[in-house]
Structure 1
Amino acid sequence: MNGSELRQSPLHDRHVALGATMAPFGGWTMPISYPDGGVLAEHTAVREAVGVFDVSHLGTATVTGAGAAELVNRCLTNDLARITEGKAQYTLCCADDGGVLDDLIVYRVRDDELLLMPNAANAAVVLGRLADAAPSSVRVTDLHAELAVLAVQGPRSADVLTELGLPTELEYMSFLDVAGTGGPVRVCRSGYTGEHGYELVLTAADAPALWDRLVASAAPLGGRPAGLGARDTLRTEAGYPLHGQDLSSEITPVQARCGWAVGWDKPAFWGREALLAEREAGPSRRLCGLLAGGRGVPRPGMTVLAGDQPVGQTTSGTFSPTLRTGIALALLDTSAELRADDEVVVDVRGRALRCAVRQPPFVPSRVR
């Protein structure tokens, strides 16, 4: 594959057959939405019933061998001591200056085996840094081409999995490896929508058959396939950050209110000294939510003003199908001392859109 060639999901042919609108995302060609309702219908299905997502663009890699857990724990921010085998954990890969190179999920299979799930565009960077830091006893193996990831999200998600004989009685961020109808499946109680849901990791070869069964099982419940467009509106309503917008090499965990994913008492992790100093001094800006009070939709990169003074910039913004209004995440200057319900203005292409400061989530979470 040359540098400009987009990768395809193992389910690419399924999406094309369903008439999906396909677009580049993180170096992959992925479905944005499907006919018969598009993003709005898919978003609503996840909130009210169930949606089935192909998220095989997410990176997958194993870290194995004696010292695997120790390597990951001294490199990534969160503290692996907080979880046991069979649990998964949200964590961050930071640069020395505290900027976030990626956010990812770590599955703790055993002390000598972990599965990492970074974002598509950042997988090579994360895995390369870990491999460079690894002792000779630890191997970092990229499985991006070998594994697929499916997400089943919504209040009826457990019903879909039950019909297929997959486990559902799992604690949040815990997982089980089971024998699926086509081959082994790792079932994790996780997701990126703010709804009760599951993520399924399996071989790329087995993914098309499982996708077909999931979609067929979801349909009688009011469910449907859902693309990355609905995934974005759902995660924004839930207040979940997207790397490259709300987290980046220029945006630290302290600024993005992700300090809960940092093991502050650990003796070592990438970016530790810079992040401790920023936490002690207080960040110059923090990620906040904005709820539009009129017609207009904030988008990323728009100026936020308090009175006539610029106080920040939006990082994510969309129309909320659930609330029927515009919402945004924005980095706001802490010196402005803005509080919940304070009014600000977003400059939407020269038009003043009045918004209220809010603490996400915009829509109550039902993940647990």
Structure 2
Amino acid sequence: MSAASPDPTAAPHQGPLHDRHVALGAKLAEFGGWTMPLEYAGGGVVAEHTAVRTAAGIFDVSHLGKVEVRGMGAAAFVNSVLSNDLRRIGPGQAQYTLCCDDETGGIVDDLIAYYRSDGEIALVPNAANTAEVVRRLREAAPSSVEITDRHTEHAVLAVQGPRADDVLAAVGLPVGHDYMSFVDAPFGLAADSVGAETDPRVVVCRTGYTGERGYELITSNDLAGPLWDALLAAGEPHGLRPCGLGARDTLRTEMGYPLHGQDISLDVTPNEARLGWAVGWKKERFWGRDVLLAERERGPRRRLVALRSAGRAIPRPHMSVSLTPDVLLGEVTSGTFSPTLRSGIALALVSTSMNTDPDAGVQVGVDVRGRREPFQVVKAPFVDPSVRS
């Protein structure tokens, strides 16, 4: 995920479900160059968060990028530039991966790659970084491979929570396939305002950003509205709630999932962010390989850690983290109140001069509004995940 906006002077883009969010009383804000719902009337962030942990929530995440890589050798090309080893998966499977800068190893973006065939890979980058990812891919792609930006042509809905399968099954969509896999499925026959039928397909992906069992649904803009309406209606008996980016942020922070623009960026490498598991270290080539291998060998100078408040303090980004009042270690990158734990939690980028082993019982101080509050270094995720169940 990304927190930055690609062009602060440009008018925010409104997705295909904008009018529905307004009708539901959503509080709207600009995020990654798009106008998106933060929370909905009649509940708020905590209620939406709790619905996802206990029942189900539906998110509009149409701001996410959609990029097609097609042509002879498309899969081989993607594997030669992005960090993870695409050869570990096959058709119908998805993979978390990183686009890194070749010279510095910094993270340009984190994204999901969907493997359709050797000649077709779909990428879902973050909203703010889509144009930059597309630019880098186009500059590097061989003549046989075409890069197409479909950012504004498709919608993405996420249904997350322990009742997600019940909600999708109620509208006739397939459920139960493996984590990080996807299938194409029909969904009725939608029509636009002049009566022309649209492509009624939905890509049902067993992916998500909440730590709960769930699905992300990629479809055409024309089908997004009918699909949203059907899911809301079918999900009501199962406790489904519409959820905004506020709950999405608290949910992902409880899981320790990084947000691009806060926890990861061009100034942060996969080694520093503890994302080495998303790097195919044995590959002969990917952007940033040489510098990242060298950093891995000597050890990064800082590392992303998880912190939990030992009191009542709520951390926020950019608050300083110290070992003692006189020894500054780094700063909070993401901080929030955890509705599940009922305490403050944070991700922080700190110097590796400190023992970051969560089993060592290390306590640090976080400067919360001028007071040095106690926090414990803990192991992420902060809550038990059910995403693979």
TM-score (norm 1): 0.98
How do residues 277-288 of structure 1 correspond to structure 2 at under 5 angstroms?
Answer: 277-288=294-305
Name the % identity.
60
Q: Distance in 2 between matches of 1:105 and 1:222?
A: 29
Aligned to 1:243: 260
Q: Distance in 2 between matches of 1:52 and 1:197?
A: 10
How do residues 55-66 of structure 1 correspond to structure 2 at under 5 angstroms?
Answer: 55-66=61-72
How do residues 163-174 of structure 1 correspond to structure 2 at under 5 angstroms?
Answer: 163-174=170-181
Q: Distance in 1 between matches of 2:300 and 2:379?
A: 17
Aligned to 1:290: 307
Work out whether 1:86 is the aligned partner of 2:92.
yes
Aligned length, in residue pairs: 368
Deviation sequence 1:254-278 (CA, Å, 0-9, x none) = 0000000000000110000110000
SS at the partner of 1:242?
Answer: coil
Work out whether 1:39 is the aligned partner of 2:45.
yes
How do residues 300-315 of structure 1 correspond to structure 2 at under 5 angstroms?
Answer: 300-308=317-325, 309-315=327-333
SS at the partner of 2:219?
Answer: strand
Q: Distance in 1 between matches of 2:387 and 2:212?
A: 5
**Which residue, 251, 262, 280 being the options, matches 1:234?**
251
Larger mean Cα displacement after TM superposition, 149-158 or 295-304: 295-304
How do residues 250-329 of structure 1 correspond to structure 2 at under 5 angstroms?
Answer: 250-308=267-325, 309-329=327-347
Deviation sequence 1:244-263 (CA, Å, 0-9, x none) = 11110011000000000000
Q: Distance in 1 between matches of 2:362 and 2:353?
A: 14
Work out whether 1:194 is the aligned partner of 2:211.
yes
Tell me how far 1:339 sits from its aligned partner.
Answer: 3.0
Aligned to 1:30: 36
Larger mean Cα displacement after TM superposition, 168-177 or 214-223: 214-223
How do residues 110-259 of structure 1 correspond to structure 2 at under 5 angstroms?
Answer: 110-182=117-189, 183-259=200-276
Deviation sequence 1:39-60 (CA, Å, 0-9, x none) = 0100000000000000000000
SS at the partner of 1:211?
Answer: helix
- Asked whether the equivalents of residues 157 and 216 of structure 2 are also in contact (C-alpha less than 8 Å), the reply is yes
Q: Distance in 1 between matches of 2:149 and 2:8?
A: 18
- Asked whether the equivalents of residues 27 and 40 of structure 2 are also in contact (C-alpha less than 8 Å), the reply is yes
Deviation sequence 1:146-168 (CA, Å, 0-9, x none) = 11000000000000001111111
Aligned to 2:380: 360
Q: Distance in 1 between matches of 2:101 and 2:356?
A: 29
SS at the partner of 1:335?
Answer: coil
Q: Distance in 1 between matches of 2:155 and 2:67?
A: 11
Deviation sequence 1:169-219 (CA, Å, 0-9, x none) = 110000001111240000010100000000000001100000011111222
Aligned to 1:343: 363
Q: Distance in 2 between matches of 1:361 and 1:269?
A: 28
Q: Distance in 1 between matches of 2:365 and 2:375?
A: 6
**Which residue, 49, 55, 60 being the options, matches 2:55?**
49
Q: Distance in 2 between matches of 1:19 and 1:321?
A: 22
Q: Distance in 2 between matches of 1:59 and 1:224?
A: 24
The one-letter code sitting in structure 1 at the alignment partner of 2:387 is V
SS at the partner of 2:262?
Answer: coil
The one-letter code sitting in structure 2 at the alignment partner of 1:197 is G
Q: Distance in 1 between matches of 2:378 and 2:219?
A: 39
Work out whether 1:9 is the aligned partner of 2:20.
no
The one-letter code sitting in structure 2 at the alignment partner of 1:18 is L
Larger mean Cα displacement after TM superposition, 214-223 or 75-84: 214-223
Aligned to 2:194: none
Gaps in structure 1 of 5+ consecutive residues = none
Q: Distance in 1 between matches of 2:379 and 2:303?
A: 11
Q: Distance in 2 between matches of 1:337 and 1:193?
A: 29
SS at the partner of 1:205?
Answer: helix
Deviation sequence 1:91-135 (CA, Å, 0-9, x none) = 000012110000000000111011110000000000110011111
Q: Judging changes above 3 Å, is the alpha-carbon distance between structure 1 residues 137 and 27 closer, same or farther for their aligned structure 2 residues?
A: same
TM-score (norm 2): 0.93
Tell me how far 1:338 sits from its aligned partner.
Answer: 3.6
Aligned to 2:101: 95
Tell me how far 1:293 sits from its aligned partner.
Answer: 1.1
The one-letter code sitting in structure 2 at the alignment partner of 1:360 is A
Tell me how far 1:3 sits from its aligned partner.
Answer: 5.0
The one-letter code sitting in structure 1 at the alignment partner of 2:306 is G
The one-letter code sitting in structure 2 at the alignment partner of 1:55 is V
